[in-house]
Copies of this chain bind each other. A is one copy, B any other.
Amino acid sequence: MKTTIKDIARQVGVSQTTVSLAFRENSRISAATRQQVLEVANRLNYTPNLTARHLRCGKTRSIGMLVNDITNPFYALMVRAAAKTVARHGYELLITDSQWNPDKEIRELKKLIESRVEGILACFCEKTDEGFTLLERYNVPFLALDTYPKGFKGPFVANDLIDTGRLAAEHLAEAGCRHPVFFTAEQEMAHFSSFLIIEREFGRILNERGIEFDAGHVISAGLTIASGLEALMKLWKKDRTVDGIFCANSLCALGVIEAGDRLGIKVGRDLAVMGIDDLDICELSRISLTAIRQLYGQLTEMAATSLIDCLREKRPLTVRLSLKPELIVRESSRLKINHAKSRLVAPNISSILDPERVTASGKV
């Protein structure tokens, strides 16, 4: 059995209260008794039982975090940022993963609530409203992170998806694409509000510039290398006029490049490829993938901070914030430049060379 405060009290010959007090700085305990208590505690290998403390105090000093896929570098980055931020304020982070499964999302959220986390940072998988309805119902302070469900009225810190769509459209238009397509997530996810927002703005800007784009130019490619590869293979069989592909993430774009290589398409010259999420490897000269960088670390830090601030001050959460993404142009989409001057520009390698860079793939 684990040593408790009682055991120590008995050994030292003081009350439980005294022992409890001895573990806190500048409480009204004499230096001598504190000394004794700490000694015995150490000898008996005592560690406080947080379960008991939390029950008694009525709060857990913990924040829950829900992500869709912990093995995705961006969620991992967010988790890391959240853990750090939360720890700085004396909180724990309970991490859970829905695996894009709405049922699991609900189950995980319930468990967090039952664990009595004081607040939740939630990346909803957005297939239903159940997730945030649940949190609202049980009255748990929460914040939507990275993206938020359609029509969501609550607090969020997210990436600016309209801007994302716009940047992509403008870039491809300027690169000289006349037949761009959007490779969105797989069928089941393609109707998530985040992808739809990007798609709509992407199309709107293209149309504005006189480039044809409608539902027929949206392809449920998926979000993995394998699915991007397959999607271009399939597309190319029936349509070889495509000259630009905007992928919903960079993994998909890597698959598209691979397919291009196998099909003998000159990526960057005859076909512009770009993705969302700037992975480290996008910078390799062999890849050199144009990507829209989202600031996941900052995003999460801001979210966690404002959640904890509100918790502290017992204010309701009101933050609704969209972070601007950044376009990183590389070789995979220099159609116009290459056509015009046939000149290669050195890829942007600054960040790869910077060992201090916060990285999604990290170390070992």
A-side residues, CB < 8 A to B, are 2, 45, 47-52, 54-55, 60, 68-74, 76-77, 79-80, 83, 92, 94-97, 100, 110-111, 113-116, 137-139, 185, 189, 222-227, 229-230, 248-249, 251, 254-255, 257-258, 261-262, 277, 280-281, 283-287, 352-355, 357, 359-364
Contacts and interface: CB of A to CB of B under 8 A. Distances in A.
A79 B79 CA distance: 12
Given A114-B49, A139-B45, A83 B71 contact: no
24 contacts: A45-B137, A45-B139, A47-B113, A47-B138, A48-B114, A49-B116, A51-B116, A68-B363, A68-B364, A71-B77, A71-B361, A73-B76, A80-B97, A83-B97, A95-B95, A224-B355, A224-B359, A224-B363, A225-B283, A226-B357, A229-B352, A257-B286, A258-B286, A277-B364
A334 to B, nearest CB: 17
A249 B364 CA distance: 6
Contacts of A70: 70, 76, 79-80, 83
A246 to B, nearest CB: 15
Nearest to A195: B364
Contact of A54 (B51, B95, B229, B283): B51
A280 to B, nearest CB: 6
A354 B226 contact: yes
B47 A55 contact: no
A224 B315 CA distance: 42
